[in-house]
């Protein structure tokens, strides 16, 4: 039997800017997340980890659907998940200071 997978078809955008302290700060408005790292490459690696942690916590608390609906997702775009969901597939983009990194990364 295949383990359940969470697939979110919404392409999440992360927007990053270099701060005055020479760190990079990225925000994802649809998720309400803000991350900071010392380099753009480190930030790029942190994004899937942060999304995985957020979604795992929401799934465990049985709050994912409410979280997404409260942030403007339409009901037809909100996935139905169970606590035994194993894989999380969320496409995302990082847009930073004139640079553009597309990602079809899957968080595990």
The per-residue pLDDT for range 67-88, each reduced to its tens digit, is 988 888 777 667 777 777 767 8
Q: Give ∠ CA 56-32-9 in degrees, rounded to 5.
A: 60
pLDDT digits (tens, 9 = 90+) for 39-50: 999 999 999 999
73 within 8 A of 29, measured Cβ to Cβ: no
pLDDT range class, residue 3, cuts 50, 70, 90: low
Helix (H, G, I), strand (E, B), or coil: what is residue 90?
coil
Q: Does residue 63 or residue 89 have the better pLDDT?
A: 63
Q: pTM, whole model, 2 decimals?
A: 0.79
């Amino acid at each position: 039997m295949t383990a359940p997978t969470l697939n979110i078809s919404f392409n999440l955008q992360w927007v990053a800017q270099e701060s005055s302290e020479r760190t990079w700060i990225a925000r994802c408005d649809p998720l309400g997340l803000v991350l900071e790292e010392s380099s753009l490459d480190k930030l790029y690696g942190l994004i899937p980890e942060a999304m995985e942690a957020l979604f795992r916590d929401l799934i465990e608390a049985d709050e994912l659907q409410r979280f997404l609906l409260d942030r403007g997702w339409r009901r037809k775009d909100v996935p139905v998940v169970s606590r035994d969901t194993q894989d999380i597939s969320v496409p995302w983009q990082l847009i930073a200071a004139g640079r553009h990194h597309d990602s079809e990364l899957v968080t595990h």
